[in-house]
Amino acid sequence: MQIPHRALGIVREIVTEQGHDLTYAYDDLVFIDHNAYLLQFTNSPAMLNLYFNIETSDDEVQKMEAGLLESAEKRNIGIERKGHYELAQAGDNNVEIKFFDTQKKCRLDPEN
């Protein structure tokens, strides 16, 4: 199956299968309801980066990560857990995103 560049429809399927909704997509980032995590498109259409909000508990992270990996795998999409992020107010109507990279690899990488 050929996966289109930045396949937002496939990402929506993965996320909604886990009981979540997409709330906002901006450039290469896809924000999920309640900001528990976000997904980032990569140069490879078959790979997504996963970042969890620093306020999300470890138990929730483990549960959500497992579900996302399973849903993505059904669609031949790989997910790499990259780390955490934090949202901060940055002036009028602007939000700053700070990324904290952990370099933890997830189990599925369809290109390797």
This prediction has a pTM of: 0.83
The pLDDT tens digits of the residues spanning 2-50 come to 565 688 999 999 999 999 999 999 889 999 988 999 999 999 989 999 9
Task: Of 19-23, 42-46, 53-57, 101-105, give the lowest mean pLDDT range.
Answer: 101-105
Assigned token pair, 70 = 């399973």
The pLDDT tens digits of the residues spanning 75-90 come to 999 999 999 999 988 8
Report the Cα 54 to chain-centroid distance in Å.
14
Give the DSSP letter string of 10-54: HHHHHHHHTT--EEEEETTEEEEGGGSEEEEE-SSTTEEEEEEET
More confident site: 98 or 2: 98
Assigned token pair, 31 = 């924000």
